[in-house]
Chains A and B, each alone.
Chain A
Amino acid sequence: MQPGVVFAQDYQYMCSEAGQNIIKDAIKTHGLTGVVVCSCSPRMHEATFRKAAAQAGLNPFMVEIANIREHCSWIHKDKEEGTEKACVLMRAAVAKVTLNAPLKAGESKVVKRALVIGGGIAGIQTALDIADAGFPVDIVEKNATIGGRMAQLDKTFPTLDCSSCILTPKMVEAKANENIRLITYAEVEEVSGFVGSFKAKIRKKARFVKEDVCTGCGVCMSKCPSKKGLNEFNMGLNNRSAIYIPFAQAIPNVAVIDKEQCIKLKTGKCGLCQKVCTAGAIDYTQQDEFIEEEYGAIVMATGFRPIDASKFDEYSYSTCKDVVTSLELERIMNAAGPTGGVLLRPSDGKHPHSIVFIQCVGSRDVSGRGKPYCSKICCMYTAKHAMLIRDKYPDVEVHVFYIDVRTPGKNFDEFYRRAAEQYDVDYIKGQVGKVYEENGQLVVRGVDLISNEQIVLNADMVVLATAIEPDPTARKVANMLTASIDTNDFITEAHPKLRPVESPTAGIFLSGVCQGPKDIPETVSQAGAAASKVIGLLAKDKLTTNPCVAHSDELLCNGCSCCEKVCPYSAISYETKLINDHGVKETRRVAMVNEALCQGCGACTVVCPSGAMDLKGFSNKQIMAEVDAICL
């Protein structure tokens, strides 16, 4: 037996209740001061074993785990070698546990208010659910209105209900709910703090219209002489005035002045809107405002945008007006869109007779132009578009080129089959290689892999099911929140299966497409799940903090600032104080660790040149003891 070990037992299911009882009994019978469990990863059952030890009266931090499953039996084909490694890991854990010190978790406060960044359907639903549980919540939305992409959609699969008809009531509810504060035309600029007590600084951009005075009558819009701004809501398919309300159901229903387009703000002349506004809401001198607030939890719901289709030159998106993206088509099909909901092609406003849809434009593409993932929603919305067009305009021929049709979801495949079978949409298995204009005619050259032949079709319009990507601000926001993000800029979950709505950073939650492509039903369920996690957190009065945090030895610290530079959680600050070094008194600058902020990553301990910084539970001495046990 290893030195220090007084009792050892083999048992197959140590995590079971019977197994835990073995540990508890051994602690009591042998008066153990430390326990080593050789089992699976501590990520699985460290908490289980610590709890068992605590129940038997042992400090839970006197338990160590040697991972002999993931690190040994699962990965080594050679049984002998694997067993040898398992023994070594066990020795290391024993060496460590003899140096463990009892630790006590501290407590920190919980500010009972949540922040939701992004006011799309994800953010709205999360906020509504949190508010419903009685907690105040702020939605910060960068645009002038909440609603996100869903507000731009015409009808929604798989039920084909009108998007704004189902979204508007939620937007109105968000505005009316007394627990929800909408902070629109705003962005979060700075976040500090930690789970339970984050501090955020929010910049509310100047609208040049007083939000509480504007009645949303829209007179200013009709009088504004500057009408060249691209209408973002309509995907730039038409123009809007410099002063505008994004769309009729906007919340808040308040105008905003686009300062790049406003003649008054650019040249000092004009001022018409102020003259016509009977409410007196226009204020050309308005400045950006800052709001500072504390939050217990933060939810990221920053959503997505379609990628730029002009990267796919072969489809002539940037040169042919009648080649549009699917989101543009949503606007063309919508009654409040640029064509009043009549299907007209952009180039000459004529009724198209033949439309070709191309799926997977930029999705499943590792060439660097597109995205390696499947955007998940485009098979379904393409089926939707094709069906709606065939339903309303039976004279229009509709062809869909696809690589695969991916329709997992309740009633989804049935929906797509309906497009093909009932609405006679011509699904062609194969991709399109080129779209070009020939004598004023759009020509599509694709392949039919079933009949094994190249197909050349004349089309009046081509619709590109463009890949979606996270909102371009996602990375910035994630960095601010120290939330991890993947190579595609989607926010990473704490566990892809078991903790899908939490970020690995405590107190940060994920909702909607910012985590990965999803449709509205999935977004809404995830939004609710994120809300329930937030509610669970805000319902607590205190949080126990992780005691495995860094601390610096004042006597050794020379205040060099190395640790502060490497700390990813900004947990280190410096204090100039009187140090009594064995009778030698000196006023020095020394490092202080904010235990609530420290996540115990240990970066500071390795950079500290004077060995002053150490991590509780993972002290340099303990780690060296493990290394010795392994190597000696």
Chain B
Amino acid sequence: MQMSEKDVAALVKEISGSDVKKCMKCGKCSATCPAYGEMRFHPHQFVAMVARGRVEELLKDPTVTRCLSCFACVERCPRGVEPANVVAAIRVLAEREQEGNNFSPADVPKLLSQDPEIPQQALVSAFRKYRK
């Protein structure tokens, strides 16, 4: 069944467990993010996009994987929004769209060849998230 963009956004919220409406657009997450320059959409932006139900572009954006899962944004967000969890949820869904709910070690060399600079921590984080 094809899900609407709004439904996908709702799923992102559910998976992330983050209440994106709590965001007051202060930008502290983006100010703190070490991967800011590597991501097309910055933490405050992807939070706002999910809040507005605009996730399609995020799901298509390969640079969301650049999040280091350092959780600095989660730590410092004054409203407890947890942007890192939002981006993680986006990645889960992007992965799911590609090949089910799995992430196999065999994929790693391919991923690395596509993007040799992919952060190690992202892979670790992805394994944690996508492997049952």
Interface residues of A (CB under 8 A from B): 405, 417, 420-421, 424, 426-427, 429, 448, 450-452
Q: Which of B10-18, B20-28, B82-90, B115-123 contacts A (4 or more CB under 8 A)?
A: B20-28
Contact assessment for B45 and A451 in the assembled complex, using a CB-CB cutoff below 8 Å: yes
B49 within 8 A of A: yes
Contact assessment for A420 and B48 in the assembled complex, using a CB-CB cutoff below 8 Å: no
Given contacts A450-B44, A450-B45, A451-B45, A417 and B52 within 8 Å (CB-CB):
no
Contact assessment for B25 and A424 in the assembled complex, using a CB-CB cutoff below 8 Å: no
Cβ–Cβ < 8 Å partners of B54 in chain A: 451
B56 within 8 A of A: no
Give complex CA distance A452, B21 in Å: 19
16 new A-B contacts at CB < 8 Å, known A424-B21, A429-B25: A417-B24, A420-B24, A421-B19, A421-B21, A421-B22, A426-B52, A427-B25, A448-B48, A448-B52, A450-B25, A450-B44, A450-B48, A451-B48, A451-B52, A451-B54, A452-B45
**Which residue of chain B lies nearest to A405 when distances are taken between CB atoms in the complex?**
B24
A374 to chain B, nearest CB (A): 18
16 contacts between A and B (CB under 8 A): A417-B22, A417-B24, A420-B21, A420-B24, A421-B21, A421-B22, A424-B21, A426-B52, A429-B25, A448-B48, A450-B44, A450-B45, A450-B48, A451-B49, A451-B52, A451-B54
Cβ–Cβ < 8 Å partners of A427 in chain B: 25
**Which residue of chain A lies nearest to B53 when distances are taken between CB atoms in the complex?**
A426
B61 to chain A, nearest CB (A): 13
Give complex CA distance A452, B45 in Å: 9
A82 to chain B, nearest CB (A): 43
Identify the interface centre among A426, A429, A450, A452: most chain B CB within 10 Å of its CB: A450
B63 to chain A, nearest CB (A): 16
Name B's interface SS. Answer: helix
Q: What are the nearest 10 A-B pairs in CB distance?
A: A450-B48, A421-B21, A429-B25, A421-B22, A450-B25, A420-B21, A450-B45, A451-B45, A451-B48, A451-B49
Cβ–Cβ < 8 Å partners of A405 in chain B: 24
Interface residues of B (CB under 8 A from A): 19, 21-22, 24-25, 44-45, 48-49, 52, 54
Give complex CA distance A237, B49 in Å: 39
Cβ–Cβ < 8 Å partners of A421 in chain B: 19, 21-22
Cβ–Cβ < 8 Å partners of B52 in chain A: 426, 448, 451
Give complex CA distance A186, B21 in Å: 51
Give complex CA distance A420, B44 in Å: 16
Give complex CA distance A583, B49 in Å: 96
Give complex CA distance A439, B52 in Å: 27
Cβ–Cβ < 8 Å partners of A424 in chain B: 21
Give complex CA distance A278, B54 in Å: 67
Give complex CA distance A608, B48 in Å: 71
**Which residue of chain A lies nearest to B46 when distances are taken between CB atoms in the complex?**
A451
Identify the interface centre among B45, B48, B49: most chain A CB within 10 Å of its CB: B48
**Which residue of chain B lies nearest to A426 when distances are taken between CB atoms in the complex?**
B52
Give complex CA distance A424, B52 in Å: 10
Cβ–Cβ < 8 Å partners of B45 in chain A: 450-452
Give complex CA distance A426, B22 in Å: 11
B79 to chain A, nearest CB (A): 8
Cβ–Cβ < 8 Å partners of B49 in chain A: 451
A401 to chain B, nearest CB (A): 13
**Which residue of chain A lies nearest to B42 when distances are taken between CB atoms in the complex?**
A450
**Which residue of chain B lies nearest to A421 when distances are taken between CB atoms in the complex?**
B21
Cβ–Cβ < 8 Å partners of A426 in chain B: 52
Give complex CA distance A49, B42 in Å: 62
A231 to chain B, nearest CB (A): 39
**Which residue of chain B lies nearest to A449 when distances are taken between CB atoms in the complex?**
B25
B78 to chain A, nearest CB (A): 11
A141 to chain B, nearest CB (A): 42
A420 to chain B, nearest CB (A): 6
**Which residue of chain A lies nearest to B27 when distances are taken between CB atoms in the complex?**
A450
A459 to chain B, nearest CB (A): 16
A130 to chain B, nearest CB (A): 43
Cβ–Cβ < 8 Å partners of A448 in chain B: 48, 52
**Which residue of chain B lies nearest to A450 when distances are taken between CB atoms in the complex?**
B48
Cβ–Cβ < 8 Å partners of A450 in chain B: 25, 44-45, 48
Give complex CA distance A405, B25 in Å: 11
**Which residue of chain A lies nearest to B19 when distances are taken between CB atoms in the complex?**
A421
Give complex CA distance A421, B44 in Å: 16
Give complex CA distance A451, B44 in Å: 9
A383 to chain B, nearest CB (A): 13
